[in-house]
Structure 1
Amino acid sequence: MENFGHFDWNHIRAFLATADSGSLSAAARQLGQTQPTLSRQIAALESDLGVMLFERLGRSLKITQAGLELLSHSRAMGDAANQIALTASGQAHSIDGMVRITASDVMSAYILPNLLREIRTQAPRLKIEIIASNDIQDLMRREADIAIRHVRPDQPDLIAKLVQEALGHFYATTEYLDRAGRPKTKRALSQHEFISFGDSSQMIEYLQPLGIHLSADNFKLGSQNGIVAWEYAKQGFGIAPMSQTVGDATPGVERVLPAMEPIKFPIWLTTHRELHTSRRIRLVFDLLTEFFSKPSPV
Structure 2
Amino acid sequence: MNWRSVKFDWNRARAFLVTAEEGSLSAAAKALGISQPTLSRQVSALEEELSTALFERGGRGLELTQNGLELLCYVQAMGEAASSFSLAATGRATSIEGDITVSASEITAAFALPPILKKLQRRYPGIRVSLVASNEASDLRRRAADIAVRNFRPSEPDLIARKVGTFEATLYADSDLLASIPRPVQEHLSEARFIGFVSNNEAYMGALAAQGLKLTEASFTARTDSHLVHWEMTRAGMGIGMVPIELGDAEPGIERVFPGHVFTGDVWLVAHRELRMNLRVRTVFDFLVDELAEYFDSAG
**Which residue in 2 is equivalent to 1:284?**
284
**Which residue in 2 is equivalent to 1:257?**
258
Range 288-297 or range 234-243, more displaced: 288-297
**3-state SS of the aligned residue for 1:165?**
strand
**Which residue in 2 is equivalent to 1:155?**
156
What code does the residue aligned with 1:165 have? T
Distance 1:140 1:250, change over 3 A: farther
Alignment of 1:11-26 (within 5 A): none
Tell me, in whole angstroms, the C-alpha distance in 2 between the residues paired with 1:261 and 1:124. Answer: 43
Distance 1:290 1:187, change over 3 A: farther
**Which residue in 2 is equivalent to 1:179?**
180
What code does the residue aligned with 1:281 have? V
| Structure 1 position 187, deviation (Å) | 4.5
Q: Is the 8 A contact 1:93 1:124 kept in 2?
A: no
**Which residue in 1 is equivalent to 2:195?**
195
Query: TM-score of the superposition, structure 1-length normalised?
Result: 0.64
Tell me, in whole angstroms, the C-alpha distance in 2 between the residues paired with 1:204 and 1:93. Answer: 53
Instruction: Mark the structure with the bigger radius of gyration.
Output: 2
Tell me, in whole angstroms, the C-alpha distance in 1 between the residues paired with 2:188 and 2:2. Answer: 61
Deviation per residue, 1:8-31 (Å, 9 max, x gap): xxxxxxxxxxxxxxxx899xxxxx
RMSD, matched Cα: 2.4
**Which residue in 1 is equivalent to 2:249?**
248
Distance 1:164 1:93, change over 3 A: farther
Distance 1:254 1:274, change over 3 A: same
Tell me, in whole angstroms, the C-alpha distance in 1 between the residues paired with 2:168 and 2:219. Answer: 23
Deviation per residue, 1:250-282 (Å, 9 max, x gap): 333122222x14211111111000243122211
What code does the residue aligned with 1:180 have? I
Q: Note the residue ranges of structure 2 that are not aligned, 5 or more in a row.
A: 4-92
1:129 aligns with 2:127: no
Tell me, in whole angstroms, the C-alpha distance in 2 between the residues paired with 1:266 and 1:167. Answer: 9
**Which residue in 1 is equivalent to 2:218?**
217
Tell me, in whole angstroms, the C-alpha distance in 2 between the residues paired with 1:163 and 1:274. Answer: 20
Q: Is the 8 A contact 1:101 1:128 kept in 2?
A: yes
Alignment of 1:65-214 (within 5 A): 94-181=95-182, 184=184, 186-197=186-197, 198-214=199-215
Q: Note the residue ranges of structure 1 that are not aligned, 5 or more in a row.
A: 1-23, 27-91
Tell me, in whole angstroms, the C-alpha distance in 2 between the residues paired with 1:290 and 1:127. Answer: 20
**Which residue in 2 is equivalent to 1:51?**
none
Could you tell me the percent identity over the aligned residues? 34
**Which residue in 1 is equivalent to 2:267?**
267
Tell me, in whole angstroms, the C-alpha distance in 2 between the residues paired with 1:149 and 1:241. Answer: 18
Q: Is the 8 A contact 1:103 1:149 kept in 2?
A: yes
**Which residue in 2 is equivalent to 1:66?**
none
Alignment of 1:231-242 (within 5 A): 231-242=232-243
Q: Is the 8 A contact 2:102 2:130 kept in 1?
A: yes
Query: TM-score of the superposition, structure 2-length normalised?
Result: 0.63
Deviation per residue, 1:64-86 (Å, 9 max, x gap): xxxxxxxxxxxxxxxxxxxxxxx
Distance 1:247 1:165, change over 3 A: same
Deviation per residue, 1:95-132 (Å, 9 max, x gap): 11111011111211122112112212211221111111
**Which residue in 1 is equivalent to 2:298?**
296
